[in-house]
Structure 1
Amino acid sequence: MPYQEDFVLFWDQVKASCLNGTFAKLTMAKTIGKPNLKNIFVRPLSSEIDIKVLVKLRYQSKETEDEEKEMNLDEAFEFLKPYLKTSFFSVILFTTTKDITFKINKKGAASITEQAPTFQNVVQAKTD
C-alpha cells in the first residue's frame, strides 16, 4: 500500500482525536536534507462551528519568521500532504490517550506505530 493511503488512515485517527477531545498536538519531524523548514506543528483551536487547528511552520534560520495559519481539518490535511517524503519522513500525533507515529522509509513504505501518551491534557493554541 502506498504511503499516501496509509496517511489517510493516520489522518482518520487525527480526526477522531479532535472529535473526542483528546487531540493535543501533531508534529512533522525528521527533515530530509538540511532545509530551512525545521518543523510543522498543528495545535487545536477552540471553535464552536467547525474543528479548527493552528498550523505553525518553524524555520531553522532566525532570519525567516515562523508562519501560522488557521484552518479546518480538511484544509490542514491538504496543506500537510505535499510535505510528506519531500520535506519530512515522520508525523507524530500526540493525544491524551496515546501517541501515534506515521513514518515513511527511504523506499516509500509507511508504518504506523502507537506508544504511551506524552500529554495528559489538551491545551488550546492561542492566535496573536
Structure 2
Amino acid sequence: MPYQDVFVLFWEQVKESVQEGRFAKLTMAKTIGKPDLRNIFVRPVASEDGFKVLVKLRYRSKETEDVENELTLEEAFVVLESHLKKPFLSVLLFSTTKDLTFKINKKGAGSITENLPTFHEVIQAQNDEE
C-alpha cells in the first residue's frame, strides 16, 4: 500500500489516542542522509481552547535554533505529512496503551507495527515561548 494511504490509517490511531486521553508523544526520525532537520517531536500541551500539541523541529547544526509551534492536531498533520519521505522515513506514536511505528520502505510502501507502551502516563509539554 502506498505510504500516504498507510499514514492516513496511522493518523487515525493518533486521533483515537488523543480522544481517549492516551496520547503521550509523537516523534519523526530516521532521515535519508544527514539533513539539517534532525527530528520532529509532537507533545500534548495545556491549552484553554481545545486540544493542542507542541510541535518542535530540532536541527542538527548549532547555528539553527529549534522551532516550536503550538498547533491543532490537524495543523500538525499537515506539517508531519510534508516531511514524510523527504527526509523522514518513520514516525513513532507513543501512547499509554501501545506504541505504533509507521515506516516507509525503499519502494515507497508504508507499514505500521505495534509494540508495548513506552509511556505509562501523559505528560504535558511546556511551551518555552510563554
Secondary structure class of the residue paired with 1:74? helix
Residue 5 of structure 2 corresponds to: 5
Q: Give the corresponding residue for 2:110.
A: 110
Cα separation, 1, equivalents of 2:48 and 2:13: 21
Query: Are 2:42 and 1:42 equivalent residues in the alignment?
Result: yes
Q: How far off is 1:50 after superposition? A: 2.0
Q: Deviations over 1:81-120 (max 9, x none)?
A: 0100111000000001000000000110110000000011
After TM superposition, list the pairs within 5 Å mapping 1:27-106 onto structure 2: 27-106=27-106
2:122 — aligned with what? 122
Structure 1's unaligned 5+ residue stretches are none
CA distance, structure 1, for counterparts of residue 87 and residue 18 of structure 2: 25
CA distance in structure 2 between the aligned counterparts of 1:29 and 1:60, rounded to whole angstroms: 12
Q: Counterparts of 2:78 and 2:59 in 1: how far apart (Å)?
A: 20
Q: Tell me which amino acid in the other structure corresponds to 1:53.
A: V
Shift in Å, 1:121: 1.0
Give the share of equivalent positions with the same residue, in percent.
69
Counterpart amino acid of residue 35 in structure 1 = P
Give the Cα separation in 1 of the matches to 2:93 and 2:4: 16
After TM superposition, the score normalised by the length of structure 2 is 0.95
How does 1:16-35 map onto structure 2 within 5 Å?
Answer: 16-35=16-35
The worse-fitting range, judged by mean Cα deviation, of 39-48 and 103-112 is 39-48
> Secondary structure of the equivalent of 1:50?
coil
Q: Which runs of 4+ in 1 moved over 3 A?
A: none
How many residues align? The count is 128
State the 1:25 CA deviation.
0.3
Paired with 1:124 and 1:115, the residues of 2 have a C-alpha distance of 22
How far, CA to CA, are the matches of 1:9 and 1:48 in structure 2?
29
